Amino acid sequence: MDVLTLSAIRLRSARGQTMTEYALLLAAVALTGYGLAATVGYNFVDDAIDALFGRVLALFH
């Protein structure tokens, strides 16, 4: 194989690895944020879900 082909193979595998690392970091940040929101005592996610369900139910009444 020539140098260009080997470089292309390395670049493709590095891109895949980088995207996987980004996905893992994003998942870690999301889980940490969700865990911290629950421990603070104010769970804004539950409030947002309740508000959404309230709006949907109001459409049917």
18 neighbors 25 (Cβ within 8 angstroms): no
Q: What is the pTM of this model?
A: 0.42
* Residue 28: per-residue pLDDT: 92
Pair of tokens at residue 49? 């879900």
* Residue 52: per-residue pLDDT: 87
- How far is it, in rounded angstroms, from Cα 27 to Cα 34? 11
CA distances for 32 relative to 13, 21, 35, angstroms: 29, 16, 5
* Residue 59: per-residue pLDDT: 85
DSSP 8-state assignment for residue 2: -
* Residue 57: per-residue pLDDT: 87
Tens of pLDDT, residue by residue over 1-60, are: 677 777 666 666 655 667 788 889 999 998 888 777 767 666 667 778 888 889 988 888
* Residue 41: per-residue pLDDT: 63
